[in-house]
Structure 1
Amino acid sequence: MPDRNATRSPWPRRLRRLIISVLAAVILLPLAAILLFRFVPPQATPLMAIRLLQGHGWERAWVPRERISSALAASVIAAEDNLFCRQSFGFDVDALRGEVEAWRRGDRPRGASTITMQTAKNLLLWPGRDPLRKAIEAWLTPQLALAWPRQRVLEVYLNIVEFGPGIYGAEAAARRFFGKPAAALSPREAALLAAVLPSPLTWSAAEPGPYVRQRAAVIERRVGQLGSLLDCAW
């Protein structure tokens, strides 16, 4: 009698192994990168490569947090994520709940991205609002929040975030727009840099229009109001 196992195709077993390998890579490789960048400065990000291909150039210079103005750290928190120093897993739960309610009403969500979420996106993912990227971002955010202290999250974010076309990080932005190192930024200059973050390809900290100037003024006032909510900003 013929052995059925001898004639069985090996493809199902190979397919299972392939699926397991892909899933393991999806889970373990980002975690390995997160653990690595907890201590090692990232030299490039997917966004930097994409912008370079788009012809925007590449200006960046990593500096430790001690060489970034505390005014910029405070301004970014005031502009982007007031509760950054209080979040446990990198999410603003109340904002996310509001997003879900807006979606149920059929309204356009206003966005609930935190600094930790933006760091995960800028460090490891591509730009855009597609559901796949948002799902991966949500998966990576708590890993980043648990593996890194808040000051490291802020330090990496301020070194890789896009402040203008092809301009990444506080040091490159401060020297390009204000002719000084990031450590010497004034509160007003810091607020201008924070003000352009939602649309760095459109708005300019060096030549701010009325909206950016108004937004920077609001950020400056908010910095003075946040008090202990800024206690992790250096």
Structure 2
Amino acid sequence: MPSKRKGKSSGPSLRFANIFRIVKKVLAYFFAVTILWVIVYRFIDPPVTWLMLQRGFERKAAGKTWKLDKKWRDFDELSNNLKCAAISGEDAGFMNHWGFDANAIQKAYLKNKAGKPMRGGSTISQQTAKNVFLWPGRSWIRKGFEAYFTILIEIFWSKQRILEVYLNVIEMGDGIYGAEAATLHYYNKPAEKLTKRQAALLIAVLPNPRRWQPSNPTKYINYKAALIRRNMRIIGKKLSFE
């Protein structure tokens, strides 16, 4: 009799042990693959992103031709004006934080809670993690993965690498990705030749680059670009891209 009771009680325990073993193995594979993925992209440029593919299929569904215009440029080949504009307009504390801006997150939360227009508190690091490793959309699960990949790129990449990848993969128009393709399209010049105003306009349209165009700015975009240029004068003195 005692042996039978022991057998019955060991059944659930054995199943739990098996489940726990499987979960541990899955987590080990997940961490191994994602960390390796991030390390590989420290040295190899991401060839494509989820957003690029999604936009391409959206164009096909709308009866348009497939369009994926991108031209990778290394960090030193990008205009310092553009680097300064991106930091000034998107993430003023980029060079000092570890991937997250607590003040920006708090302001975004309070503004959204008050019912004002939705505003994100994402840093350049978070946007890079989202664009390179994740799918488009809004959910707490995706936000959790975004935070995880943000931590990884802050650990394994340099700030220069994060900014380089960001400026090469970000959506800058309908089927246009990255600074080089954008500046060739809008200004007919390479990204290393951008003036301060052109760089500020390019960053000013980023919330919705398929709605606004830096080559034909609205009054609102001109206003935003002016604010970015003002921040560039302040922040630019502290930045070094050597």
Range class of TM-score, shorter chain: 0.7 to 0.9
Does residue 58 of structure 1 match 2:68?
yes
Aligned-residue offset at 1:95: 2.3
Offset at residue 25 of structure 1 (A): 3.3
Q: Larger relative contact order (C-alpha < 8 A, sep ≥ 6)?
A: 1
The question of whether the paired residues in 1 share the 8 Å contact of 2:100 and 2:123 is answered with: yes
Asked if the contact 1:158–1:170 (Cα under 8 Å) also holds between the matched residues in 2, the reply is yes
Letter in 1 for 2:46: P
Q: Is the 8 A contact 2:205 2:221 kept in 1?
A: yes
Map of 2:100 onto structure 1: 91
Equivalences for 1:18-57 in 2 at 5 Å? Answer: 18-55=22-59, 57=67
Give the whole-Å Cα distance in 2 for the aligned partners of 1:227 and 1:173.
23
Aligned counterpart, 1:153: 162
Rounded to whole Å, the distance in 2 between the matches of 1:25 and 1:204 is: 43
Distance 2:207 2:218 in 1: 14
Tell me the distance in 2 between the aligned counterparts of 1:147 and 1:170.
24
**Residue aligning to 1:189:** 198
| Residue in structure 1 matched with residue 63 of structure 2 by the alignment | none
AA at the equivalent of 1:123: V
Query: What stretches of structure 1 of length at least 5 have no aligned partner?
Result: none
Structure 2 unmatched runs, 5+: 60-65
**CA pair 200-102 structure 1, distance change in 2 beyond 3 A:** closer
Letter in 2 for 1:96: I
Aligned counterpart, 1:120: 129
**Structure 1 partner of 2:83:** 73
| Matched length | 230
2:179–2:191 Cα contact (<8 Å) kept: yes
1:89-110 Cα offsets, whole Å, 9 max, x none, are: 211122234445567x655663
Please say which structure displays the higher CA radius of gyration. Answer: 2
Asked if 1:172 corresponds to 2:172, the answer is: no
Deviations 1:82-133 (A, max 9, x none): 111111x211122234445567x65566321100111101110112221111
Q: For 1:167 and 1:193, how far apart are their aligned partners in 2?
A: 12
- In the aligned structure 1, how far is the partner of 2:197 from the partner of 2:85? 9
Identity over aligned pairs, percent: 37
Q: Post-superposition shift, 1:207?
A: 2.1
SS at match of 2:172: strand
Contact persistence 2:81–2:199 (CA under 8 A)? yes
**TM-score normalised over the length of structure 2:** 0.84
